[in-house]
Amino acid sequence: MSQQPNPQQDPSGAPRREDRLAPRPLDRPPVDPAQASVFGRPRGVDGAFDRLYAPDARANGKAQQVTLAPPPPESLAEAFRRPPEAAGVVLQRPADDAGAQPETEAPLWSKPADPWRDPNAGALLGGPAVATEEETKEDPEERPRGAMLSLPEVLFGRRVKPTALALLGVIALLIGAVGGLAGWWLSDRGDALTGELNIAEAEAGKERPPGSVADVARRVAPAVVSLEIRIGEGGGSGSGVVIDPQGYILTNDHVVSMAVKDQSAKITAVFINGARTEAKVVGTDPKTDLAVVKVNVPDPVVAQVGKSADLAVGDSVLAVGSPLGLENTVTSGIVSALNRPIGMPGENGGPPSNYGAIQTDAPINPGNSGGALVDSTGALVGINTSILGGGEGQGGNIGIGFAIPIDQAIKISRSLIEQGSVKHADLGLNAASVAANTSEGAQVQNVAPGSPAAAAGIAEGDVITKVGDRIVRTATELTVVVREHNIGDVVPVQLSRQGRQLVVDVTLGSD
């Protein structure tokens, strides 16, 4: 059966031309002139850039030559080109004996796989540029050490810059400061760190400025001695003050009165350093309770003599002596009163003693007699003599002590040293203390014939109320006030006679 030809086909069997589809038209968007000027080929170049000559670029019938980069400088070419002996050598690892190339390491991105790695990238990461620790250890070559500099070369050899030396010194100071602070902190916190018991120990007070009690006592004590009187199995004790470099010691009469009465008595002076030496009585004055003894010692410490007339109530004073045999005892107090008339009965039947005393609350006890009363500067202002007891059977200190003013004591001691005895100014009468509604003073009991009082017209029964510029309240005060004057002085005496006030001038005589 023969096949009938298709009228739609060519006799050869191919579709007819009019039955074929036309090609799809090309979509060519317009070119932006600005981008064409930037990214387009330069003028006169139609082909690729890797050709030396553009075959289709003709200018005036001649081939236009492409301008190439100039050859590199000879110095760079010589530095970076292959050496002559390396001609034909490729930069590949050498083949082994069998002629096979050694196996190369797999790419970095293959182990482990890096999902972000572009396998078409040409750059590869190589090994580290710095040698590993093992390679460094295997390097047999060691770098040579530099010369070591001595201290003179560093300081004076100009081998190191001054700024470097200064910086080094600052660093050393900082290191030392940090170390010191760390050590201080550790020592301060030592008990907290170690748990050890830390007992606080207080140092003794050492604040002894000039004029302090300790300073005054240190300077005065060597001039005060303890006096021991021995008579057979008995005796007594007291104190004394060295007032002259030749060894003269001022004390009380009642301290040495036993030695005066008994020639077998022995007086021993004990100094602050423990030295003991025999003392001899130079002279005594029972009426003022003063005496002077002498010791033979080389260069004794002498007390500085002050002025009792300059004292005021409330001034600070120190009493230095040997109360109850306790040598070199120092007590402190103030001046409680001045010109306090004190009358004491005589020792061993002797005449009574009267003096205008310095009253003080510095503790004074038996044994302080004859010791020093000094002011805040250490100057001797009185000789401690007596105390006022608290009553029957109470002989201790109750804060009322008396000392003979040094102005009077020095005057009497000079007379005892030079003459061996003392004479006092006297009125030549006996008196008793009175206190009435109209008068208060010393009432005359009797007047000695030919005495200064009799010559002045003073009669029995008169009441003396004032001598000179001093008021008289008691008979003891009358004696004290009169003895403050010199023999031969003319003093006005105010008295009361039968209710009338009289003033008479009296020329003082001697007792």
Q: Between 258 and 139, name the one with better pLDDT.
A: 258
Question: How does pLDDT run across 292-305, given as a tens digit for each residue?
Answer: 999 999 889 999 99
Q: Are residues 317 and 383 in the same domain?
A: yes
Percent of the chain predicted with pLDDT > 90: 24
What is the reported pLDDT for 138?
54
Residue 459 domain boundaries = 425-510
DSSP string over 137-206: HH----PPPPPPPPHHHHHHSS-S-HHHHHHHHHHHHHHHHHHHHHHHHHHHTHHHHH-------PPPP-
What is the reported pLDDT for 390?
62
Q: Which of 257, 322, 369, 415 is catalytic?
A: 369
Q: Are residues 477 and 373 in the same domain?
A: no
Least-confidence region, from 216-220, 320-324, 349-353: 349-353
Residue 491 pLDDT grade (very low, low, confident, very high; cuts 50, 70, 90): very high
What is the reported pLDDT for 32?
85
Look at residue 16 and tell me whether its pLDDT is greater than 50. yes
Residue 334 pLDDT grade (very low, low, confident, very high; cuts 50, 70, 90): very high
Q: Are residues 476 and 358 in the same domain?
A: no
Residue 347 pLDDT grade (very low, low, confident, very high; cuts 50, 70, 90): confident
Q: Are residues 359 and 441 in the same domain?
A: no
Final residue of a structural domain among 351, 386, 419: 419
Q: Are residues 226 and 344 in the same domain?
A: yes
d(C-alpha 218, C-alpha 230), whole Å? 29
Final residue of a structural domain among 419, 440, 465: 419
Domain at 450, CATH number: 2.30.42.10
289 assigned to active site: yes
In three-state secondary structure terms, 116 is coil
Residues 6+ apart with CB under 8 A from 296: 247, 277
Q: Which of 239, 253, 254, 375 is catalytic?
A: 254
139 assigned to active site: no
Q: Are residues 404 and 296 in the same domain?
A: yes
What is the reported pLDDT for 54?
45
d(C-alpha 175, C-alpha 281), whole Å? 76
Q: Are residues 257 and 393 in the same domain?
A: yes
Q: Are residues 379 and 462 in the same domain?
A: no
Q: Between 207 and 339, name the one with better pLDDT.
A: 339
27 occurs within a structural domain: no
What's the number of domains the chain is made of? 2
Q: Are residues 415 and 457 in the same domain?
A: no
Residues 6+ apart with CB under 8 A from 62: none
Q: Are residues 407 and 436 in the same domain?
A: no
118 occurs within a structural domain: no
Residue 76 pLDDT grade (very low, low, confident, very high; cuts 50, 70, 90): confident
Q: Are residues 363 and 445 in the same domain?
A: no
Q: Which of 226, 253, 285, 289 is catalytic?
A: 289
Final residue of a structural domain among 419, 446, 475: 419
Chain position carrying tokens 């023969």: 2
Q: Are residues 292 and 410 in the same domain?
A: yes
Residues 6+ apart with CB under 8 A from 144: none
16 occurs within a structural domain: no
Least-confidence region, from 188-192, 291-295, 340-344: 188-192
162 occurs within a structural domain: no
424 assigned to active site: no
112 occurs within a structural domain: no
| Report field, pTM of the whole predicted structure over 0.85 | no
Domain at 308, CATH number: 2.40.10.120
35 occurs within a structural domain: no
Residue type present at position 189:
R
- Cis, peptide link before residue 210, omega less than 30° from 0: no
Look at residue 139 and tell me whether its pLDDT is greater than 90. no
334 occurs within a structural domain: yes
Q: Between 200 and 493, name the one with better pLDDT.
A: 493
333 occurs within a structural domain: yes
Q: CA-based Rg of the chain, rounded to a whole angstrom?
A: 65
Look at residue 344 and tell me whether its pLDDT is greater than 70. yes
d(C-alpha 293, C-alpha 269), whole Å? 10
